[in-house]
Amino acid sequence: MPVKLYTGKGILEKHKEQLAELGGRCVVITGKSSAVRSGALADIQRIFEETGTEYEIYDGISENPSVSSCIEAGRKAYAFQASYIMGIGGGSPLDAAKAAAVFAANPDLDEKGLYAMTWNRVLPTVLVGTTAGTGSEVTKVSVLTNSEGRKKSVHHDLLYPVLAFGDPAYTASMGRTLTLTTGTDALTHLTESFFSKKANDISRACSIEGIRNLIPLLEKAADHFDDLTEEDREIIYNASILGGMAIAATGTVFPHNVGYYFTEEYQIPHGFASALLTDDLLSFEETCGREYADAFYERTGISHERFRKLLRKVLPEYEIHLSEETLQDILPRWQNNGTVKNTRGDITSEEIGKMLRRKFPETE
């Protein structure tokens, strides 16, 4: 992993010289309020003052960020002659910062060019996480919403940030629902990565360690949210980074991509949308040679039943009924899809259709 990642309380202050080395002009890319609410922006502004860094803030990034907002942010950085870009926030601002760095270095590029990867330079990016879920801090992936309203990711080695900071104290301002949606995203990364065809001993070790640590704390967050300690927050954050490292090596498998549809169509938050078919993924893996499924339960020490119970507890009951017509419309999405092909056991879009029919029957 080419990212220099630093984690722990007060971590930015300890590495301010490294920030100063990136040049004296920075555009900070963030959402409406998380940079302020988490305390990260105040820390950065203090460091910028000390190091004499000139900066501007672009705070127009929404959840599931649009390519157009990244173009706008990139143009701002280009006009400002920024020497680097800093993303502060959850996965949305971090992914937007990666894409904005491309547009800043290629001011004539448009959406089509971004996805066609007709570019080969970017501005350096620094990422400061404020949620504990996506692991975007350590991946070369930027998940954006295109002009057709579809979530579509860009993967490129140049999208790795040069520096990433994870101060778990910044995640303390997340309420129960956000802690659970983002934590569930981390759980699905760790789980999906384990069942990826590209999994290896190291990525699986990340998955196992992350899941062992994360599940008891998601259970605690669900049942006794107010009892979460600073240390618990740190463990959850670190598990999200392990998830990021795992998917950086393996990619995700089908539930993540199916989840994109439910975020686009029903605005289900990314973590919960990704978890809609996690239980089905486990059941599917149990039917296609028990070797990996058994190893998964044995090494995590978490049974399928405990997994299922946690998912039932955290996921809301969505009132969604998919008609046969809708299914025929959407299933082709998963006919030739990379995450479907990446799933161990060769799942087909017909099998995904069966899962969706069971979960969201046409009538009540």
Residue 66 has what DSSP assignment? B
Query: Around Cβ 138, how many Cβ atoms within 10 Å?
Result: 26
State both tokens at 280: 């089905």
Q: Give the integer Cα–Cα distance in Å for 309 and 246.
A: 24
The binder of 93, among ligand NAP, Fe ion, none, by C-beta within 5 to 8 A per type, is ligand NAP
The binder of 32, among ligand NAP, Fe ion, none, by C-beta within 5 to 8 A per type, is ligand NAP
State yes or no: residue 136 binds ligand NAP (CB under 6 A): yes
Binding residue for Fe ion (CB under 5 A) from 111, 185, 192, 234?
Answer: 185
DSSP 205-271: HHHHHHHHHHHHHHHHHHH-GGG--HHHHHHHHHHHHHHHHHHHHH---HHHHHHHHHHHHH---HH
Closer to ligand NAP by Cβ: residue 182 or 300: 182
Ramachandran bin of 8, using left for φ above 0, alpha for ψ from -120 to 50, beta for the remaining angles: left
Binding residue for ligand NAP (CB under 6 A) from 100, 122, 143, 221?
Answer: 143
The binder of 131, among Fe ion, ligand NAP, none, by C-beta within 5 to 8 A per type, is ligand NAP
# of chain residues touching ligand NAP (CB under 6 A)? 33
Nearest-CA neighbor of 11 among 175, 231, 170? 170
State yes or no: residue 146 binds ligand NAP (CB under 6 A): no
Q: Which amino acid is at 142?
A: S
# of chain residues touching Fe ion (CB under 5 A)? 1
Q: Scanning the structure block, which residue is given the tokens 């295109």?
A: 146
Closer to ligand NAP by Cβ: residue 122 or 293: 122
Smallest distance from Fe ion to CB 256, Å: 6
Using the rule CB under 5 A, give the single segment among 122-130, 185-193, 205-213, 225-233 that binds Fe ion. Answer: 185-193
Residues 6+ apart with CB under 8 A from 30: 41, 57, 58, 59, 61, 87, 88, 89, 93
State yes or no: residue 95 binds Fe ion (CB under 5 A): no
State yes or no: residue 66 binds ligand NAP (CB under 6 A): no
State yes or no: residue 89 binds ligand NAP (CB under 6 A): yes
* Interface positions, 152-181, toward ligand NAP (CB under 6 A): 170-171, 173-174, 178
State yes or no: residue 342 binds ligand NAP (CB under 6 A): no
Smallest distance from Fe ion to CB 272, Å: 11
Q: Give the integer Cα–Cα distance in Å for 45 and 55.
A: 9
Residues 195 and 344 sit within 8 Å (Cβ to Cβ): yes
Binding residue for ligand NAP (CB under 6 A) from 60, 74, 87, 91?
Answer: 91
Angle at Cα 186 formed by Cα 265 and Cα 267, nearest 5°? 15
**Number of residues written out for the chain:** 364
Binding residue for ligand NAP (CB under 6 A) from 60, 87, 93, 168?
Answer: 93
Closer to Fe ion by Cβ: residue 185 or 280: 185
Q: Which residues bind ligand NAP (CB under 6 A)?
A: 31-34, 37-38, 63-64, 89-93, 95, 130-131, 133-136, 139, 141-143, 170-171, 173-174, 178, 182, 185, 270-271
